[in-house]
Amino acid sequence: MHFTTLREAPSDAEIPSHVWLLRAGMIRKSVAGVYNFMTFGWRTVRKIEQIVREEMDAAGAQEIITSPVQPAELWHESGRWQVYGPELWRLKDRHGREFALGPTAEEVFTDIVRNEISSYRQLPRNLYQIQLKYRDEARPRYGLMRSREFIMKDGYSFDADPAGLDESYAKMREAYTKIFTRCGLDFRPVAADNGAIGGSGSEEFQALCDYGESDIVHCACGYAATTDQAAGVDAPAADGAADVPPMEEVSTPGTKTIEAVADFLGVPQERTLKALLFVVYEDLGAGGASPAPTDGGTPRAATPTAGYAVKEYVAAFVRGDRALNMVKLRAALGGVAEHLIEFADEARMGAATGSVAGFTGPVGLHDCRIVADSEVPGLGGLVAGACKEGYHAKNVLYGRDWTADTVADLKLVGAGDPCPQCGAPLAIARGIEVGQIFQLGTKYSDALGAFYRDDNQQEHPIWMGCYGIGVTRTMAAVVEQHHDDDGIIWPLSVAPFHAIVCPVKNGDAEVAAIAEGIYEDLLAAGVEALLDDREERPGVKFKDADMLGIPLRITVGKKAAEGIVEYKPRAEKQAAEVSPAEAVRLVTEAVKGI
Ligand code: ATP
Ligand code: MG
């Protein structure tokens, strides 16, 4: 067998799934974020794919396959060629025609459907594929978790009306629940942000895990959402706004942070106003591989790169003790793409708008868009920057001294904040997003012209949903949830092999024959079995079997001649002494139960 293990993982492998998949020889890195799959790893990928396929088919979806090479024209039609930003892996052919390596395939599937569906009689349809996807992630990391090339199942439903979409969505939600359950994951569906995909209504399937990259808030009442999506609950409005004394400038030298100014003036942070300053760029459509102004989610102060022009400056205000949620801010600005907004360069913004680093407040700003968190108008008189070096203003009152261009929920919700559903304090957990389902509505059918005719020959846009599962990320998530200090503990459903037979007395013909007999019996019973007939010490064999995570082991050793072998599930500490026939029966029974 082609099988090589590593004594140690490379230093860039930080999380258990990355470490163990490499050490057990399941995957091998090609370049950053691109992996090759070896014998054992590929078998597990195919197991997961098969589970996905069975449940998708059972839910009425049909598998097709499209090319990952997608013409740029389709992306221009949907408007996403620019919105998607530098994550879109672009290429040109020898004639200079542009293409993208598909990060997802809404355009391609909508194109297929607009060409092939014209009547209500052809609806509903649900089409899916299991295909390599490409995203030029700013920071590929954690092995299969965030890679630049990965396997995704993406599916798209097409219905005549919103009720049909609801039904298709519900079926997919159920199929996803079955898929992740069969893969052995501890997961939960949570309300989610629509991101670059667009549309309304979406849920993510999050595998709970300490190393997850998503923050999820949840509550005993059943509410669960990503922190990007969780609705903030406004503080109750203060009474007596009419009695707030006039605004008053005070000298606050050197107090550039909320903590410093609150301390200096002896007021609680809740009585202050925090300013966050951004620049929004316009993509000039220079095309090609655009230089990225952001590094994946977290904006940083940078200079505009070629191909981008400053569109506007934005000052966002939240209560002093709150944090700002970037996803909510981008939505409040009308859906600014992640790569087109970042923290403003203070000197440049100051010259254009009157902001002053560390002393910016809403009064005195000009030529910039002011966005306020929804609770800010109700907070009464606050301490805010005076737009003057070394000065703040007291009693700054919304409605009297300033107003915002946009008021929206901008709060980052965290542990202990009130649940938007029942008010109890929220708990926080980390998760790995293994799948996401979206109600797209008519966003893509309108943009690309995917219409159907009803009974009366009237044209209507098709209602779409889209449904993704990260197959290779699911594999990593399974390892995150199923491993110990010795390696992986695959659930039987996705294990590369169900069972391993280990003869541990090298050179003993009788032991070898019994082991081979057990192995043959297992194969005959339909068990995916391995026979470790290498001339290795028992310790080496056990170590490898454990690292690989083969769920069931039969050890044939010194008591074999008396008709006794050992049966040991990988997840258990103790082995049981049984007859060879009993061992075969135990394994076969376990495998039947998958
Ligand atoms: P993320 O927020 O983690 O970047 P996403 O929300 O952009 O992911 P979707 O567009 O919802 O991803 O893609 C569907 C699924 O594909 C995700 O739920 C995830 O399981 C998987 N996926 C997305 N990006 C990656 C990646 N870089 N590496 C591996 N799997 C990924
Ligand atoms: Mg997603």
Give 341 Cα–ligand 1 centroid separation in angstroms.
Answer: 21
Residue 152, ligand 1, Cβ within 6 A: yes
CB 310, CB 279: distance < 8 Å? yes
Give 97 Cα–ligand 2 centroid separation in angstroms.
Answer: 29
**Is residue 211 very low, low, confident or very high in pLDDT (cuts 50, 70, 90)?**
confident
Token pair 């907070």: residue: 379
CB 569, CB 591: distance < 8 Å? no
Using the atom order of ligand 1, give the atom closest to the CA of residue 103.
Answer: 10
In this predicted structure, what is the pLDDT of residue 199? Answer: 60
**Is residue 196 very low, low, confident or very high in pLDDT (cuts 50, 70, 90)?**
low
Bridge partners, residue 125, by sequence: 158
Residue 146, ligand 1, Cβ within 6 A: yes
**Which protein residue has the closest C-alpha to ligand 1 atom 14?**
468
Residue 436, ligand 1, Cβ within 6 A: yes
In this predicted structure, what is the pLDDT of residue 299? Answer: 43
In this predicted structure, what is the pLDDT of residue 204? Answer: 96
Kindly report which listed range (39-43, 113-117, 288-292, 545-549) carries the lowest average pLDDT score.
288-292
What distance in Å separates the CA atoms of residue 137 and residue 33, rounded to the nearest whole number?
Answer: 8
**How do 406-408 and 427-441 pair as beta strands?**
unpaired
For residues 203-223, average pLDDT = 93
Residue 339, ligand 1, Cβ within 6 A: no
For residues 327-346, average pLDDT = 92
Task: Assess whether pLDDT exceeds 70 at residue 302.
Answer: no
Using the atom order of ligand 1, give the atom closest to the CA of residue 204.
Answer: 18
For residues 306-316, average pLDDT = 89
How many angstroms separate the first and last alpha carbons of the chain?
26
Using the atom order of ligand 1, give the atom closest to the CA of residue 192.
Answer: 6
In this predicted structure, what is the pLDDT of residue 297? Answer: 39
Say what the pTM is.
0.89
CB 568, CB 501: distance < 8 Å? no
In this predicted structure, what is the pLDDT of residue 192? Answer: 86
In this predicted structure, what is the pLDDT of residue 291? Answer: 41
Give 8 Cα–ligand 2 centroid separation in angstroms.
Answer: 32
Task: Assess whether pLDDT exceeds 60 at residue 167.
Answer: yes
In this predicted structure, what is the pLDDT of residue 83? Answer: 84
Give 324 Cα–ligand 2 centroid separation in angstroms.
Answer: 21
**Which protein residue has the closest C-alpha to ligand 1 atom 7?**
195
**Is residue 77 very low, low, confident or very high in pLDDT (cuts 50, 70, 90)?**
very high
Using the atom order of ligand 1, give the atom closest to the CA of residue 474.
Answer: 20
What distance in Å separates the CA atoms of residue 364 and residue 232, rounded to the nearest whole number?
Answer: 28
Residue 418, ligand 1, Cβ within 6 A: no
Residue 153, ligand 1, Cβ within 6 A: no
Query: Which is more confidently placed, 299 or 404?
Result: 404
**Is residue 228 very low, low, confident or very high in pLDDT (cuts 50, 70, 90)?**
confident
Residue 435, ligand 1, Cβ within 6 A: yes
CB 356, CB 390: distance < 8 Å? no
Contacts 24+ apart (CB under 8 A), 67-70: 67/102, 68/101, 68/102, 68/131, 68/132, 68/133, 68/134, 69/99, 69/101, 69/102, 70/99, 70/100, 70/101, 70/102, 70/105, 70/107, 70/108
In this predicted structure, what is the pLDDT of residue 195? Answer: 64
| CA quadruple 506, 508, 514, 516: dihedral sign | positive
Contacts 24+ apart (CB under 8 A), 116-120: 117/158, 117/450, 117/452, 117/462, 118/451, 118/452, 118/453, 119/452, 119/453, 120/160, 120/452, 120/453, 120/454, 120/455
**Which protein residue has the closest C-alpha to ligand 1 atom 22?**
470
What distance in Å separates the CA atoms of residue 360 and residue 269, rounded to the nearest whole number?
Answer: 16
Using the atom order of ligand 1, give the atom closest to the CA of residue 152.
Answer: 16
- CA-closest candidate to residue 180, choices 437, 426, 430, 427: 437
Token pair 């913004």: residue: 349
Residue 255, ligand 1, Cβ within 6 A: no
Averaged pLDDT of the chain? 93
Task: Assess whether pLDDT exceeds 60 at residue 300.
Answer: no
CB 216, CB 428: distance < 8 Å? yes
Residue 176, ligand 1, Cβ within 6 A: no
Task: Assess whether pLDDT exceeds 50 at residue 289.
Answer: no
CB 388, CB 364: distance < 8 Å? yes
Give 477 Cα–ligand 2 centroid separation in angstroms.
Answer: 15
Task: Assess whether pLDDT exceeds 60 at residue 8.
Answer: yes
Task: Assess whether pLDDT exceeds 60 at residue 296.
Answer: no
Q: Maximum distance among all alpha carbons in the chain? A: 98
**Which protein residue has the closest C-alpha to ligand 1 atom 28?**
146
Residue 202, ligand 1, Cβ within 6 A: no
What distance in Å separates the CA atoms of residue 100 and residue 72, rounded to the nearest whole number?
Answer: 6
* Ligand nearest to the backbone CA of 139: 1
CB 363, CB 387: distance < 8 Å? yes
* Ligand nearest to the backbone CA of 146: 1
* Ligand nearest to the backbone CA of 197: 1
Give 549 Cα–ligand 2 centroid separation in angstroms.
Answer: 29
pLDDT tens digits, one per residue of 368-418: 999 999 999 999 999 999 999 999 999 999 999 999 999 999 999 999 999
In this predicted structure, what is the pLDDT of residue 286? Answer: 59
For residues 269-283, average pLDDT = 95
**C-alpha angle with apex 174: 116 to 427, nearest 5 degrees?**
125
**Which protein residue has the closest C-alpha to ligand 1 atom 27?**
146
Residue 555, ligand 1, Cβ within 6 A: no
For residues 33-44, average pLDDT = 98
Residue 147, ligand 1, Cβ within 6 A: yes
In this predicted structure, what is the pLDDT of residue 288? Answer: 40
Residue 434, ligand 1, Cβ within 6 A: yes
Using the atom order of ligand 1, give the atom closest to the CA of residue 213.
Answer: 3
pLDDT tens digits, one per residue of 468-509: 999 999 999 999 999 999 999 999 999 999 999 999 988 899
In this predicted structure, what is the pLDDT of residue 466? Answer: 97
Choosing from 154, 294, 436, 466 the residue with most ligand 1 atoms within 8 A of its CB, the one to mutate for a pocket test is: 436
In this predicted structure, what is the pLDDT of residue 239? Answer: 85
**Is residue 292 very low, low, confident or very high in pLDDT (cuts 50, 70, 90)?**
very low
Choosing from 131, 433, 467, 479 the residue with most ligand 1 atoms within 8 A of its CB, the one to mutate for a pocket test is: 433
Residue 470, ligand 1, Cβ within 6 A: yes
Instruction: Give the burial class of 354: count Cβ atoms within 10 A of its Cβ; 0-12 exposed, 13-18 middle, 19 or more buried.
Output: middle
* Ligand nearest to the backbone CA of 475: 1
pLDDT tens digits, one per residue of 522-558: 999 999 999 999 999 999 999 999 999 999 999 999 9
**Which protein residue has the closest C-alpha to ligand 1 atom 3?**
433
* 548: Cα within 13 Å, side-chain hemisphere: 29
What distance in Å separates the CA atoms of residue 84 and residue 335, rounded to the nearest whole number?
Answer: 12
Task: Assess whether pLDDT exceeds 80 at residue 227.
Answer: yes
**What is the set of domains in the chain, with CATH numbers?**
38-64+102-230+428-478 (3.30.930.10), 241-408 (3.90.960.10), 499-592 (3.40.50.800)
Is residue 369 within a helix (H) or strand (E), and if so which, with residue range? strand 369-373
Kindly report which listed range (32-46, 82-96, 452-466) carries the lowest average pLDDT score.
82-96
For residues 320-336, average pLDDT = 95
Q: Is 266 left (phi over 0), alpha (psi -120 to 50) or beta?
A: left
**Is residue 159 very low, low, confident or very high in pLDDT (cuts 50, 70, 90)?**
very high
Token pair 């440049």: residue: 348
CB 575, CB 524: distance < 8 Å? no
**Is residue 306 very low, low, confident or very high in pLDDT (cuts 50, 70, 90)?**
low
